[in-house]
Amino acid sequence: MKVLISGASVAGPVLAYWLDRYGFETTVVERTPALRHGLGGHAVDLFGQATDVVQQMGLWDEVKAARTMIDDLTIERSGGRPVHVDLGRLYAGISDRHVEILRGELIRILSSATTSEYLFGDSITALTDDGAGVDVTFERNAPRRFDLVIGADGMHSNVRRLAFGPEEPVRRHLGGYLAVYSMPDLFPLGSSMLIHQSVDRLVGLYSVRQTGQSRAMFMVRTEAELEYDYRDKDQQKALLATAFRDYGWRVPQLFEHLEAADDFYFDAIAQITLDTWQRGRIGLVGDAGYCPAPAVGGGTSLAVATAYILAGELAANGPAGLRTYEAKVRQMVDRSRKIGPKVMGSIIPRGPATLRLLPLATSVVPKLPRPIQRFIWSQNAVGKALGSTALPDYSALLSPRSPADPGR
């Protein structure tokens, strides 16, 4: 079977890898002119099941070697003493397996394991599903026909727009905005991350060991959605500057590098709430189908685990696997949707009481005995979604590797 995957970030390469291993023929179309690999972009987390998938792909050692090595967190806030948090112990309470890695590094490692055909600098313009296959037209490449088309093209998915309808009705604004950019390492932090919280706003800073630069992160709570042009970075930088104009702390120094930032990211902290991820021979995976909200929802682990399940279900059931995949991942998706609102409520304090108490709670939990930490997390949406549930085993469906394939 020939499968077209739109998007070569996290879900796309994981899906392509496993489909290749089950004997499918895969093509990946990616809008950017080359892989988004490298050291730009933000740090993401792999928990529990997602680390199992990476391990089964033979990539665990590479992923671990590339980890950010940020091991502790200092939380500062106006009018309070700084609080220190051991991140290793905090994450260990949530899941016994966790790694933090730059998304670009993860993409490089995942995609290097695939044997797919890649079409860079292109995008799908139309999809016609006639029940026996899907005719696809592209912006640049000639039209082609595939047995299945999967959208792994992120929160603002093109495949979702073409096959399932516009984004607006299925986007749930969680009441905030997120901005990230790279800048010189003005305040070298080594293996620490620094967060400064105030009511309705947060600023974060960490050093990127591989680049010698640092990354500044801003979150702001705004109940209403902002009106802006998603292509106009200057307009978005101005919105950020206005939101933090009176913040103080180290923000004036961080803003000296805002204008020059060429990897500036700005987007709503929002979820995709579509309730079906398959239509005929077209499906969605990862953020494209059920983005649990950038930075606060554990989207990377969800993308990895669900892409593995989608590939397995297609291998087991052919095109009908789109339906069995949907049934198998639904609970995981439902649980993930509960994470974002919870995390938003805690990391961007709503009032002076949260601002005072939350950093203390965050610092105390990792110091408790491990079984008590586990109990606390098991009662919480984050722990429930990211905790370790066993993944289905599809190993009986693997195609034999050719002698030329070194395997992993």
CB under 8 Å to 69, separation ≥6 — which residues? 191, 209
Interacting span for ligand FAD (CB under 6 A) from 77-85, 91-99, 163-171, 294-302:
294-302
Judged by CB under 6 A, the residue of 17, 91, 181, 265 near ligand FAD is 265
Between 83 and 180, CB nearer to ligand FAD: 180
CA-to-CA dists, residue 252 to 183, 203, 206, angstroms: 13, 12, 17
Judged by CB under 6 A, the residue of 20, 62, 72, 153 near ligand FAD is 153
Cα separation, 55 vs 58, whole angstroms: 5
Angle of CA points 219, 222, 226, to nearest 5°: 100
Instruction: Identify whether the C-beta of residue 185 lies closer than 8 Å to the C-beta of residue 217.
Output: no
Q: Is residue 305 a contact point for ligand FAD (CB under 6 A)? A: no
Between 165 and 318, CB nearer to ligand FAD: 165
User: What mask, x for binding ligand FAD by CB under 6 A, covers residues 26 to 65?
Assistant: ---xxxx---x-----xxxx--------------------
Helix (H) or strand (E) holding 335: helix 321-347
CB under 8 Å to 149, separation ≥6 — which residues? 3, 4, 5, 6, 124, 127, 129, 134, 136, 159, 163, 281, 282, 283
Judged by CB under 6 A, the residue of 3, 4, 5, 7 near ligand FAD is 7
Interacting span for ligand FAD (CB under 6 A) from 153-161, 188-196, 324-332, 369-377:
153-161
Beta bridge partners of 197: 77, 202
Q: Between residue 237 and residue 256, which ones bind ligand FAD under the rule CB under 6 A?
A: none
Judged by CB under 6 A, the residue of 4, 11, 63, 102 near ligand FAD is 11
CB under 8 Å to 82, separation ≥6 — which residues? 74, 75, 76
Instruction: Identify whether the C-beta of residue 127 lies closer than 8 Å to the C-beta of residue 144.
Output: no
Judged by CB under 6 A, the residue of 6, 214, 236, 373 near ligand FAD is 6
Between 330 and 368, CB nearer to ligand FAD: 330
Helix (H) or strand (E) holding 43: strand 43-47
State which residue has the least CB distance to ligand FAD. 299
Instruction: Identify whether the C-beta of residue 118 lies closer than 8 Å to the C-beta of residue 8.
Output: yes
> Closest by alpha carbon to 202, among 167, 164, 247?
247
As measured in angstroms, the least distance from the Cβ of 57 to ligand FAD is: 15
Between 63 and 152, CB nearer to ligand FAD: 152
**Interface with ligand FAD: number of residues (CB under 6 A):** 36
Judged by CB under 6 A, the residue of 303, 315, 347, 358 near ligand FAD is 303
Place of tokens 């590939």: 311
Q: Between residue 96 and residue 125, which ones bind ligand FAD under the rule CB under 6 A?
A: 103, 123
As measured in angstroms, the least distance from the Cβ of 398 to ligand FAD is: 23
Judged by CB under 6 A, the residue of 3, 8, 102, 219 near ligand FAD is 8
> With left for phi above 0 and alpha for psi between -120 and 50, is residue 243 left, alpha or beta?
alpha
- Return residues touching ligand FAD (CB under 6 A): 6-12, 29-32, 36, 42-45, 103, 123, 152-155, 158, 178, 180, 265, 286-288, 294-295, 298-301, 303
